[in-house]
Amino acid sequence: MSRLQALAVSVNRLEKRYGDLAALAGVSLEVEPGTLFGLLGQNGAGKTTLIKILLGLVAPTAGEASLLGEPVGRLAGRREVGYLPEDHKLPEYHTAPSLLHFYGALQGLTRRERLARIPFLLELLGLKGREKLRIRGYSKGMKQRLGLAQSLLHRPRVLFLDEPTDGIDPVGRKQIRDVLLEQQRTGVTVFINSHLLGEVEQLCDRVAIMRRGHLLVSGTVAELTPTKPTWLVGFETPPAGGLRWEGCQLEAAERPGLWRVHLDASAPDSLDRFLAQVHRAGLRLRHLEAERATLEDLYLTLATSDRQAP
């Protein structure tokens, strides 16, 4: 397998212990190149430790980890990765361009490369026009966007982002999501740590959930959030009292004005029969939605259970 076709991230029975505490208790994981991968978990689940091991910042206690087919921790491998740490503190005496020049030069970029790349990134992340402002005067969102800019500076093939949209307003989030999708489109593997479930669900193709150092589940968002045999319906004039029809039952849903109906998933025409009954009852439908399990459902179930990794 050539280097470029190798897995972006491959982790095999990885362990990290701090004394008696197991930050990672045997995690195995594979991420294909070009994936937008979301790692979910509560604070202290081991997400950041996993990223730090992949970046070669922390040495594992046991197990193997490789990045783009090479064992982690090699200096040359760091030219291929970009990293945005959680709660990063950018040196406040810099301006955005000077900071990017600093990191870019450490990364090995020539001045010419930096001069071409930096204005592009500042524009991309909406920091243009603030070139003279010291980072001291930046808002949290601006710092976050500048942090993202430094991770993209050297055109990495794998991006590790620890809580990238933390503290950013909705417009900024959309902007960052677009940037990440564009990165993915150009073949970059994006590895996101987050506890913002909706965000991850919206953005990522593949998701894994960690808890207390264990990887609980991993798969595509569709795999992890199967459709349910329930539909949400809304009527122009709500039916008086509960309705009970052949093969189905309506009950009030959590969202106001909507009803949940359980249909027999094994019968292919169950929805048609339900609609025919609505029509017969003289009701007019204005909302119909198939219910899916959300990542939140799955996450809450896993987070509160005592289930361990298989």
- Return the number of the residue (4 or 293) whose C-beta is nearest other proteins: 4
- Rounded CA separation 233/279 (Å): 13
- Rounded CA separation 75/262 (Å): 57
Binding site for other proteins (CB under 8 A): 4, 33-34, 52, 55, 57-59, 75-79, 81, 83, 85-94, 98, 101-113, 116-117, 120, 150, 154-155, 157, 183, 186-188
Q: How far is the CB of 68 from other proteins (least distance, A)?
A: 11
- Rounded CA separation 121/113 (Å): 12
Q: How far is the CB of 200 from other proteins (least distance, A)?
A: 22
- Return the number of the residue (187 or 242) whose C-beta is nearest other proteins: 187
- Rounded CA separation 216/26 (Å): 11
Q: How far is the CB of 40 from other proteins (least distance, A)?
A: 21
Q: Please, how many CA atoms are within 13 Å of residue 226, restricted to the half-sphere of its CB?
A: 3
The helix, strand and coil proportions of the chain, stated in percent and rounded to the nearest 5, come to: 35, 30, 35
- Rounded CA separation 32/90 (Å): 31
- Return the number of the residue (55 or 250) whose C-beta is nearest other proteins: 55
- Return the number of the residue (90 or 271) whose C-beta is nearest other proteins: 90
Yes or no: say if 160 and 82 are a contact pair by the CB < 8 Å rule: yes
Q: How far is the CB of 51 from other proteins (least distance, A)?
A: 10
- Return the number of the residue (10 or 35) whose C-beta is nearest other proteins: 35
The size of the chain, in residues, is 310
Q: How far is the CB of 188 from other proteins (least distance, A)?
A: 6
Task: Give the distance, in angstroms, between the CA of residue 101 and the centroid of all CA atoms in the same chain.
Answer: 29
Q: Which amino acid is at 207?
A: V
- Return the number of the residue (95 or 194) whose C-beta is nearest other proteins: 95
Q: How far is the CB of 269 from other proteins (least distance, A)?
A: 45
